[in-house]
Amino acid sequence: MSGTVGDFLVLMGESDGSDVARRLANPKAWAPWPGVSPEIQHSMPARGVNVWVRGDVRLAAAGEVGGLGVAIEPASSAPADTDVRSATLQTWLRDQQWSADRLRGRFSYVFWDMRTRRLLACTDAFRSCTLYYAHTPAGLAVASDLRLLIRAGLVAPKVCPKAVYHYLNFSYVPAPFSAIEGALKLPPGHCLEAVGGQVSLRKYWDARYPSDIRGTDTQKAEGLREKMLDTLRHYGSATTDGWGTFLSGGTDSSSIASMLSRNRTVPVNSFSIGFEEEGYDELPYSRIASRAFGLKAHERRVGEKDAVAIIPRLVQAYDEPFGNSSAIPTFYCAELAASHGIGILVGGDGGDEIFGGNERYRKDQIFERYYRAPGIVRGLGSLAARSLSGIDSRFANRVKNFVHRGSMPNPDRFYSDDSFASDHFDGLLSEGFRARLQRDDSLDVQRAIFKEADAEADLHRLMYLDLKMTIADNDVVKVVRASKLAGVQVVFPYLDRELIDYTGRLPASDKVRGLEKRFLFKMATQEILPEEIRKKKKQGFGLPVSVWMRRGGAFHDMVHDVVLSRKAIDRGYCEPGFVKGLIDRHERGAWDHASEIYMLLMLELWHREYIDPQVA
């Protein structure tokens, strides 16, 4: 496993790069990752190619051919004497070819062959090492961080309206969009190829769902357990020095900790976060896991003051607006690990999406039953919803929400869980902002992905949708960047391509059977997980933002000072009266709008960090 991943920008074109070099010579143009060398290196490894790197970026060149890459490889995925990055780069120098077949971890590479004016850029299956690209007057630019394109002067600091709209629905900007006009993100599992200025994208890997594994439930559970154990063998090293596991006490992080701790004489380090607020603290479950697996457990609690203190640094860590508040405990968990000499953490992200553990999958089964119910049943539901139309209480709103969502097919129904700006299109968004959008712009993103899935079952299409968006655009981005801000890198065994290929061969009914989530996973982990953890309700590294916003402390004050500020109003995205009403409804308990309010908070803070200084 490698150290802290560095950043880079590659510019292919006729420009000599002098103006870009002047701008990027300023360390403030780069992301503030701890442990990364402050030295900024600029080179011209081939005619028409300028490269800027900072930190751990491997570069190799021979004449007109060359490339660079960043990577985090699992400890046991290659022979001890094999440097995967060097081998990958040398293959390109020799053959001008690239393949992901032997790459198991996280990576991004950029290759060039100026004899044919060819550039090839690749990111891993879940773009955990993000690549942005832009056609600029200076040439084709590819960067590991969006701020490099902005601060190098290659793209104007002009915010993309459609990206903001997507953000206000999803809490992140989905690929291939970026927050800045003129820049795009390379989608997960894709390569970009530019030949003579013509750019094309190619998908080299995707999740598929042939559902062709047959046998009894017991046989399939045994097969799944062996596949999980085999996968985890690649993600732990012979010693426990320098690495550990996230441990929320949930099924995914606990099962990974269990499998990694097998047959060891020295305990594996685990790191857990708790809260004082009732209903948010999972430390009791993480303690069950640490005792059961003989882990060396490390814990800390995060409070409201901690959250307020880290938010400005989180804004600097995410180069686009990012509204997932669980980045806060993720950072503090990684910081705890770093304080104990840990450089690599093993994360459990992806388990819900490949084993069928997302609560939304179970809820969707209920919605589907209502959707397919006889007309008289749906008619009574509509009547009940209409009778409550004038009542703004939590119970009434839950009834209306169920009837509304249960009356739609997928993926529209699934999207309605992430449709804040769409649902309030006319009330939330200003007239000028609405004029640049269509209400279904964000829904159309999910419709396209849902349609693209190589799957028969609706559940598999939803799981595919979650892998592409909830995982690649949200969870992986959250964990990678929050951890990197603490100086820690992360690997994700449950996002291993071979494991996903295997679980795609299991029928949908093995993931959710009736209303039981993780049906086969629970059978497969009977000897891996304690019963209390197998049966617990999912929580993950959530945090009590909702409580903090209501009780009038520092978090509440920050929200009011930022979200209702004249600066935020003057952006022209939202109607200030609607936003004020949203906060009021949350504070009096009519509905939980914490996630929407947090999104608005981070959007405004992102503008202040990335846009306002450039415009000024």
Extract the tokens encoding 28: 């403030």
Answer yes or no: is pLDDT of 3 > 80: no
CB count within 10 Å of CB 394 equals 10
Answer yes or no: is pLDDT of 579 > 90: yes
Answer yes or no: is pLDDT of 141 > 50: yes
Distance between CA atoms of residues 342 and 327, nearest Å: 19
What integer is the mean pLDDT of 478-503? 97
DSSP secondary structure string for all residues of 147-171? HHHHHTTSS---B-HHHHHHHHHHS
Helix axes 161-170, 441-452, angle to 10 degrees: 70
What integer is the mean pLDDT of 122-148? 97
| Dihedral pair phi/psi, residue 419, rounded to 5° | -130, 40
What integer is the mean pLDDT of 148-172? 97
Q: From residue 22, how far is each of 16, 52, 163, 319 by CA, in Å?
A: 12, 11, 30, 21
Longest dimension (CA), the chain: 75
Q: What's the confidence (pLDDT) of residue 323?
A: 98
Looking at the chain, the whole-number percentage of residues with pLDDT higher than 70 is 97
Q: What's the confidence (pLDDT) of residue 78?
A: 52
Residues 199-252 have pLDDT tens digits of: 999 999 999 999 999 999 999 999 999 999 999 998 877 677 889 999 998 999
> Tokens 């840990």 — which residue?
342
Q: From residue 52, how far is each of 40, 58, 208, 212, 557 by CA, in Å?
A: 7, 12, 37, 47, 41
Q: What's the confidence (pLDDT) of residue 606?
A: 98
Extract the tokens encoding 222: 């045994």
Grade residue 279 by pLDDT with cuts at 50, 70 and 90.
confident
Distance between CA atoms of residues 152 and 156, nearest Å: 10
| Dihedral pair phi/psi, residue 9, rounded to 5° | -140, 130
Answer yes or no: is pLDDT of 2 > 50: no
Q: What's the confidence (pLDDT) of residue 89?
A: 96
DSSP reduced 3-state for 6: coil
Distance between CA atoms of residues 213 and 227, nearest Å: 13
Report the candidate in 273, 284, 226, 233 with the shortest Cα–Cα distance to residue 530.
Answer: 284
Grade residue 554 by pLDDT with cuts at 50, 70 and 90.
very high
Looking at the chain, the whole-number percentage of residues with pLDDT higher than 90 is 81
> Tokens 């799981």 — which residue?
463
The count of residues in the chain is 616
Answer yes or no: is pLDDT of 79 > 60: no
Least confident of 179-183, 271-275, 481-485, 536-540: 536-540
Answer yes or no: is pLDDT of 360 > 60: yes
Extract the tokens encoding 52: 């800027």
Least confident of 34-43, 469-478, 505-514: 34-43
Q: What's the confidence (pLDDT) of residue 378?
A: 86
Q: What's the confidence (pLDDT) of residue 314?
A: 98
Spatial neighbors of 172 by CB under 8 A, at least 6 apart, are 166, 320, 321, 322, 323, 324, 473, 474, 477
375 by Cβ neighbours in 10 Å (0-12 / 13-18 / 19+) ranks as exposed
DSSP secondary structure string for all residues of 345-389? EE--TTHHHHHT--HHHHHHHHHHHHHTS-HHHHHHHHHHHHHTT
User: Domains of the chain (ranges plus CATH)?
Assistant: 7-203 (3.60.20.10), 217-356+467-534 (3.40.50.620), 545-616 (no CATH)
Residue of higher predicted confidence among 73 and 185: 185
Answer yes or no: is pLDDT of 7 > 60: yes
Q: What's the confidence (pLDDT) of residue 82?
A: 66
Distance between CA atoms of residues 609 and 142, nearest Å: 22
What integer is the mean pLDDT of 496-511? 98
> Tokens 């397919």 — which residue?
372
| Dihedral pair phi/psi, residue 455, rounded to 5° | -155, 150
| Average pLDDT taken over every residue of the chain | 93
Answer yes or no: is pLDDT of 362 > 90: yes
Q: From residue 108, how far is each of 82, 188, 348, 536 by CA, in Å?
A: 18, 11, 21, 37
Distance between CA atoms of residues 541 and 248, nearest Å: 6
What integer is the mean pLDDT of 485-499? 97
Q: What's the confidence (pLDDT) of residue 1?
A: 42
Q: What's the confidence (pLDDT) of residue 539?
A: 54
Least confident of 100-114, 152-166, 272-286: 272-286
Answer yes or no: is pLDDT of 294 > 80: yes
Judged by phi (left if over 0) then psi (alpha if -120 to 50, else beta), residue 393 lies in beta
Helix, strand, coil percentages for the chain (3-state, nearest 5): 45, 15, 35
Is residue 71 within 8 A of residue 87, CB to CB? The reply is no
